[in-house]
Amino acid sequence: MIYLDSNATTRPSPAVRAALLPYVGDSHANAKSLHGPGEAARAAVEAAREKVAALLCARARDVVFTSTATEALNTIVRGLLLREPPDARRHVVASAVEHPAVAEPLQDLETRGYEVTRVGVDGAGRLDPEEFRAALRGDTALSIAMAANNETGVRLPWRECAAAAREKGVPYLCDAVQAAGKVPFEFEDSGADYAVISSHKIHGPMGAAALVVRRSAPFRPLLVGGGQERGRRAGTENVAAIVGFGVACEEATRHLVESMPRVEKLKDRLESLLVERIDGLKVNGLGAPRLPNTLSVVIGGVEGEAALLLLDKEGIAVSTGSACASGSMDPSHVLTAMGIPVPLSLGALRFSLSRTTTEADVLAAAEALPRVVKKLRELSPFDPLDGPPQDRFGTKTAPDAARAARRSSE
Ligand code: PLP
């Protein structure tokens, strides 16, 4: 399998697997226990905390381990509802392109008396920090802008946003899940109040993530009950996952310099080959600063999901980037925010590379996709470059596309 879906998850590295194995075997113990094995587990968790902090240029004491980035992000966003004493400020500023782990809790806040200002992006996915600054108000309780977008790889000016929030005395949350390990991220100097990263996106195991909380920032735990993580996140620590996460962070710190320039060259190669070989293919975020590993495209007259399924049959794993809910394909809120018309955004495909991606992987994808696009365009009753008319498309479901793709490949 040629795996080009690293923004979804990455395979734990051999060093990560070797480091965590003892903690699901002989070294298995609760990090809260007072006996020797417990103390060893505790020491392993603290060593991992140091490594996570080093990747983020943060203080180890400020790192809180959680199970996922979704949990960490919910802790801050939904945590607004738990502030004690209750915060009279009921306004939140956020970029319009946040991950659902932020976007959905924000929608929930809106049903509970909060007002949310979503700061839009331009056609290339760029956010203007001045617009972000202008949206901050006296009653803003939290501001949010991710470091890099998971669908397009476009980097947001998070340092400028953090500085603007700090000036106005508004706590600032940065989702650094996709940026971590791909581009430098310095928490301590940035002025950000909260940052979040996830183990499984950087060749660590699933089941661990980190929330960094600046000591001066308001904070209420989402989970209470066991006193773990200095009372900031109750629940027995997943020692094995945390140990693996620590090693993943250590490796990611090194690979920022050792591997990311090579990954970027591969991504650029794939981009230029696809642009050259496929009519009607557009690169999302062209001209904006982007992550070195992420290539997002839209292809006129082709459904992303159908192309994904045909690529899968050829042993190439990619993603569409748009959420598929209950059988009907929803356009991506990120591409919509960039002003990409719905029929075109349904033709989105995301290739996300990692340090394990090879040149052969990229060349195989650049061979396969033009073939797949040709096949799908031949099947389509619509003009290949215009795609279906919007009203007709609105009623077309993802399973229809999937069935068409399967039929065509049988
Ligand atoms: N934030 C971003 C930008 C992501 O890409 C993801 C995962 O896709 C998350 C948050 C959620 O991470 P987790 O899988 O650890 O909950």
**pLDDT (tens digit per residue) in 257-300:** 999 999 999 999 999 999 999 999 999 999 999 999 999 999 99
Question: Measuring from atom 12 of ligand 1, which residue has the nearest CA?
Answer: 69
| Least confident window among 166-175, 187-196, 380-389 | 380-389
Tell me the DSSP string of 255-302. HHHHTHHHHHHHHHHHHHHHHHH-TTEEETTTTS-B-TTEEEEEETT-
Outline which parts of the chain fall under CATH 3.40.640.10.
Answer: 14-255
Residues in the chain: 410
How far is ligand 1, taken at its centre, from the CA of residue 360, in Å? 28
Q: CB of 68 closer than 6 A to ligand 1? A: yes
The dihedrals phi and psi of 349, each to the nearest 5 degrees, come to: -135, 140
Whole-angstrom distance, CA of residue 340 vs CA of residue 123: 8
Q: Is the pLDDT of residue 302 over 50?
A: yes
b/e for 236-250, b at 16 or more Cβ within 10 A? Answer: ebbbbbbbbbbbbbb
- pLDDT category of residue 331 using cuts at 50, 70 and 90: confident
Question: Sign of torsion, CA 52 291 373 365?
Answer: negative
pLDDT of 67 higher than 50: yes
Phi-psi domain of 274 (left: phi exceeds 0; alpha: psi -120 through 50; beta: other): alpha
Task: Tell me which fold the domain 14-255 belongs to.
Answer: Aspartate Aminotransferase; domain 2 (3.40.640)
Q: Is the pLDDT of residue 389 over 60?
A: no
- Return the C-alpha torsion angle 165, 142, 201, 333, nearest 10: -100
- Write down the pLDDT at residue 362: 98
Given a cut of 80, whether residue 126 has pLDDT beyond it is: yes
Catalytic residue (one of 57, 161, 249, 324): 324
**Using a 6 Å cutoff on CB, does residue 294 contact ligand 1?**
no
E-strand stretches of 99-178: 115-119, 140-144, 172-175
Annotation: CATH topology of 259-409: Aspartate Aminotransferase, domain 1 (3.90.1150)
With cut-offs at 50, 70 and 90, classify the pLDDT of residue 382: low
Is there a catalytic annotation at residue 324? yes
Q: pLDDT grade, residue 329 (50/70/90)?
A: low
Sorting pLDDT into bands at 50, 70 and 90, what band is 321? Answer: confident
| Rounded average pLDDT over 223-238 | 96
Q: What span, in angstroms and rounded, lies between the C-alpha atoms of 297 and 190?
A: 31
Per-residue pLDDT tens for 14-37?
Answer: 999 999 999 999 999 999 999 999
Q: Is the pLDDT of residue 322 over 90?
A: no
Average pLDDT over residues 369-378: 96
68 and 209 in contact (C-beta within 8 Å)? yes
Residue for token pair 């993530």:
209
* Residue ranges matching CATH 3.90.1150.10 in the chain: 259-409
**What band does 354 get if pLDDT is binned at 50, 70 and 90?**
very high
Q: Is 209 in the pocket of ligand 1 (CB under 6 A)?
A: yes
Q: What is the rounded distance in angstroms from the CA atom of residue 62 to the CA atom of residue 64?
A: 6
pLDDT at 348 over 70: yes
Q: Which atom of ligand 1 is nearest to the CA of 199?
A: 15
DSSP state of 155: B
| φ and ψ at residue 247, rounded to 5 degrees | -65, -40
Q: How far apart are CA 62 and CA 125, in angstroms?
A: 31
**What is the average pLDDT across 141-156?**
98
* Distance (Å, whole) CA 195 – CA 153: 18
| pLDDT interval class at 138 (50, 70, 90) | very high
Question: Burial, 205: exposed, middle or buried (Cβ in 10 Å; 0-12, 13-18, 19+)?
Answer: buried
Q: Which two tokens stand for residue 96?
A: 């319009």
What pLDDT score was predicted for residue 386? Answer: 55
